[in-house]
Amino acid sequence: MSKKKSPAPKKENAKQSPKDKPAEKPKRPPRPPRTKMPEQPPDIRIKNFVEVPYGLTPEEAQLEAARCIQCKRPKCVEGCPVSVQIPEFIALIKDGHFAEAASKIKETNVLPAVCGRVCPQETQCEETCILGRRGEPVAIGYLERFCADYERLGGHIKLPKKKRPNDKKVAIVGSGPAGLTVAGDLSLLGYKLTIFEAFHKGGGVLVYGIPEFRLPKEIVETEINYLERLGVEIKYNHVIGMCKSINELLTKDGFDAVFIGVGAGLPRFLNIPGENLNGVYSANEYLTRSNLMKAYLYPTYNTPIMKGRKVTVVGGGNVAMDCARTALRLGSDKVMLVYRRAREQMPARAEEVHHAAEEGIDFRLLSNPVEIIGDDTGVVKRIKCQKYQLGEPDDSGRRRPLPIEGEYFELETDLVIIAIGNNANPLIKATTPDIETNKWGNIIVDEFGRTNKNFVYAAGDIVTGGATVISAMGGGRKAATGIHRDLMGIKDEDVQD
Amino acid sequence: MHQIIRKQEMAKGTIVRFDVRAPEIAKKAKPGQFVIVRLTETGERIPLTIADKDSFEGYITLIFQVVGKTTAIMRTLNEGDAIKDLVGPLGKPADIQKVGTVIMVGGGTGVAILHHIAKAFKEAGNTVISIIGAREKDLLILENEMRIISDELVITTDDGSYGQLGFVTEPLQRYLDERYDIKEVYAIGPIPMMKFVCRLTKKYNVPTMVSLNPIMIDGTGMCGGCRVTVGNETKFCCVDGPDFNGHEVDFDELTKRNSMYLKEEKDALLFSIRG
């Protein structure tokens, strides 16, 4: 009883206080500062694989939610690739309806616990938040994570209402963010869905790429489990292109449509001497060993990983940060990050760069490797780098890095991780030659994810090249719309946006 | 889960043959392709070349040598047990055409893969000369199977306990000296064997294919762990191979790369024994 009563007076107080003030002054009271996310301290967290931010408490979340001014025409929604109804879910948090807030997000985003953690909010919803003009934007990402965690940890996950089953079957190739979104959207519309996943676990980059300390795998498992409860079938260990072709899915297996969301999945290397020495990994291999195969729990888990005393990571994106921070946690003494531009130009999220710096990653900026040097047994010993400087802005708007002639330096290192992005994986194209791709091998689609082949759709990194989880989900949503329209015979021009 | 329907120990128990139920893979598998195997939830992923298949009965044959922890555990499995994960078929199939006379050279466990490819060459209408070798008589595998599909079969053992004394390169050189109609050589076996076969056939300018078995994880091109240098270019064995022009392969690099986890392999074996 007492529990129920106590919040009541608070509410009244909250209502009264603004009432009192307008009498004397029309000005609003100063807005409370943005809630800080509590985190594991750097010196502790570099010794474990536990998630770094703890998440907000209900009180903190409500306080933060109260900062939102509930814009009539919310800019934040425009900044979101899947148009999450941000003011609405924040209002629900403010009023203490946490599970409802989670359901509200799920109307447009099937993976809120994931997006609340790995979305670059600072360049999306939070960048366009009106509060950000004069102060700090609402911590939309923290709030999204909060209600998704509340729902999951409290066992409040409810299955939404599904439309009556139609007789259409859709195959989804790849269970990464794009594929999961298509599965989530189409299953609600009554489709029968089968996901084909190449690995033994679902989630794509969410399980093999993003480390445990940034995205606990238990979350991805919950999301996959949720889709299975919705009736989605997942076939693991199926490499489409090898065990079945896209055409076979459409003909022999009787699928009405096929969605391709296989990711980028072909690591780029620098093409410099010494790159095949022992102790040189692609970021994909290093992270897959550690994350998917759980090499950080070796030998309980059987997959080994080279740990390295002095580790050099090459690249400046989120993946490079993930590699560098994983190396620290695997017990390396020193981790250096070599990047050819300056810190401001790093494509990684500011938060990731900040976390990495806090943890003691040694940034060797404006430098680029030219050679990796090994010993007689073929093991890495040193890496030779060239110094760079910034020139005029290039096509990406960032200042172009230019090598400085004759200026080289060497770093002692016994493990090098190349994290400079991915090219398009060739397996689908090789076995479906009539699918149209651009010169980089990325599949060409229209605005609803339609490829040149009838009833074949694509989205995510295989279309865009390496991008973010949320942009893959945005593409997946578009493709789901395209599939639904085509299979139901709805013409694009008949639909009003 | 994939049930082991038949188990057979060969070569004094150092090599084991499994017929594993995998109807989907059996339907698609072609000679030269491989599967990725993961035995248990905590297991690693290892590539094994498909040694044969029966698409009617729906099984594939895996023949493996006990070299590390995973294969050591695998040997302890019996008929009726199951393999948790089996992915495939992966890799490019061997390029099998009617070219005339071919020499198939196999050593050790390599004979298992060689047999599948040799059979296909024979079925394509080629004259097949086979040379298979082992350290000693008891370690030789698939002699009868090779005999059935070969027009001529030569056996060598390092200690002379069976067939000719010496290495497979000796009869190979004899054939290359005596016959001018050898259109292609296929060599599958330990890396040094493939290296020396290629060195020899290069002198005679006879095109030679080899099948490589580097360390892999996903088998789909995603990790790049299986990179090999072929013709001064980096190739991914899983999607560009596993068969390559042997005259262009950097075997020394492959040897070094395959030894990357020797220490960990040993530790893991000890760990599994001592707990």
Q: What is the pLDDT of residues A108-163, one digit of tens each?
A: 888 899 999 988 898 899 999 999 988 999 999 999 999 999 999 988 888 878 88
**Rounded to an integer, what distance in angstroms lies between the CA atom of residue B93 and that of residue B89?**
9
What pLDDT, on a 0 to 100 scale, did the predictor assign at position A9? 45
Q: Which residue of A has its CA nearest to B42?
A: A301
Region B162-182: mean pLDDT is 94
Alpha-carbon gap: B264 to the closest alpha carbon of chain A (Å): 6
> pLDDT confidence of B271, banded at 50, 70, 90?
low
Give the Cβ contact number of residue A68 at 10 Å. Answer: 24
Residue among B88, B223, B264 whose CB faces A282 most closely: B223
Quick one: which of B28, B46, B35, B44 has its CA closest to B2? B35
DSSP label at residue A119 = S
Spell out where A322-452 has E strands: 334-338, 362-364, 367-374, 380-393, 399-412, 415-418, 422-424
Q: Is the separation of the CB atoms in A410 and A384 below 8 Å?
A: yes
User: Is B138 near chain A, with CB under 8 Å?
Assistant: no
Nearest to A237 among B70, B86, B272 (CB): B86
Over residues A387-435, the pLDDT tens digits come to 999 998 888 788 899 999 999 999 999 999 999 999 998 888 888 999 9
Q: pLDDT tens for residues A193-225?
A: 999 999 999 999 999 999 999 999 999 999 899
- Give pLDDT tens digits for A271-296: 999 999 999 999 999 999 999 999 99
Judged by CB atoms closer than 8 Å, whether chains meet at A239 and B224 is answered as: no
Q: Strand order of the sheet with strand B15-21? A: B82-83, B2-10, B15-21, B59-65, B46-54, B34-38, B85-90
Q: What residue has token string 């059979």?
A: B119
Report the gap between the CA of B165 and the closest CA in chain A (Å): 32
pLDDT in tens, B47-91: 999 999 999 999 999 999 988 888 999 999 999 999 999 999 999
Whether residues B85 and A293 touch (CB distance < 8 A) is answered with no
Return the pLDDT at A411: 97
pLDDT at position A236:
97
**Mean per-residue pLDDT over chain A, rounded:** 90
The mean pLDDT value for B165-177 works out to 95
Percent of chain B with pLDDT over 90: 88
Q: Are A468 and A264 in contact (CB under 8 A)?
A: no
pLDDT tens for residues A442-474?
999 999 999 999 999 999 999 998 888 889 999
Token code pair at residue B273: 């024994």
Nearest Cβ partner of A278 from B222, B257, B265? B257
CATH number of A29-154: 1.10.1060.10
Contacts of A427 in chain B (CB under 8 A): 220-221, 239
Per the CATH hierarchy, to which homologous superfamily does domain A169-265+423-494 belong? Answer: FAD/NAD(P)-binding domain (3.50.50.60)
A14: pLDDT strictly greater than 60: no
Probe site for chain B from A197, A242, A272, A375 (most B CB atoms < 10 A): A242
Residue A254's CB is within 10 A of a number of other CB atoms, namely: 9
Asked if the C-beta of A248 comes within 8 angstroms of chain B's C-beta atoms, the answer is no
pLDDT per position as a tens digit, A292-327: 999 999 888 989 999 999 999 999 999 999 999 999
CB contact under 8 A, A276 and B69: no
Is residue A117 within 8 Å of A149, Cβ to Cβ? Answer: no
Contacting A residues, span 251-270, partner chain B, CB-CB under 8 Å? 265-267, 269
pLDDT (average), residues B113-131: 96
- A29-154 and A269-420 in the same fold: no
Q: Which residues of A touch B46 (CB under 8 A)?
A: none
pTM: 0.91
Of residues B221, B228, B272, nearest to A425 (C-beta): B221
What's the per-residue H, E or C state across B244-259?
A: EEHHHECHHHHHHHHC
pLDDT at B275: 47
Residue A4: CA count within 13 A, CB half-sphere = 1
B26 within 8 A of B53, measured Cβ to Cβ:
yes
The residue in chain A having the minimum alpha-carbon distance to the alpha carbon of residue B233 is: A271
Domain residues of chain A, as ranges?
Answer: 29-154, 169-265+423-494, 269-420
Which spans in chain B are helix H? 23-28, 69-76, 110-123, 143-149, 169-178, 191-203, 237-240, 251-258, 262-274
**For residues A261-267, average pLDDT:** 91
- Would the CB atoms of B28 and A265 count as touching at under 8 Å? no
Question: Is the distance from CB of A464 to CB of A475 less than 8 angstroms?
Answer: yes
CA distance A156 to chain B (A): 29
User: How far A210 CA sits from the closest chain B CA (Å)?
Assistant: 14
B269–chain A Cβ distance below 8 A for any pair: no
Looking at chain A, the whole-number percentage of residues with pLDDT higher than 90 is: 75
The whole-number pLDDT of residue A291 equals 94
Which position has the token pair 């016994």?
A414
Q: What is the pLDDT of residue A460?
A: 95
Question: Residue A13 above 50 pLDDT?
Answer: no
Which amino acid is residue B5, in one-letter code? Answer: I
Bridge partner list, A463: none
CA distance, residue A103 to nearest chain B CA (Å): 33
Q: Taking 90 as the threshold, does the pLDDT of residue A362 lie above it?
A: yes
Q: Find residues 277-316 of chain A whose CB sits inside 8 Å of chain B.
A: 278, 281-282, 284-285, 288-289, 293-294, 298-304, 306
Whole-number pLDDT of residue A23: 55
- Residue B43: what pLDDT? 92
Q: What is the pLDDT of residue A25?
A: 58
**Per-residue pLDDT at A28 exceeds 80:** no
Would you state the pLDDT for residue A93?
Answer: 97
Residue pairs spanning A and B at CB distance below 8 A: 113
Report the residue from A282, A306, A425 with minimal CB separation from B220: A425
Q: Is 0.85 exceeded by the ipTM?
A: yes
pLDDT category at B264 given cuts 50, 70, 90 is: confident
Interface residue B69 vs chain A (CB under 8 A): yes
Nearest-CA neighbor of A283 among A312, A336, A319? A319
Residue A333: pLDDT band (50, 70, 90) is very high
**Architecture of the domain defined by A269-420:** 3-Layer(bba) Sandwich (3.50)
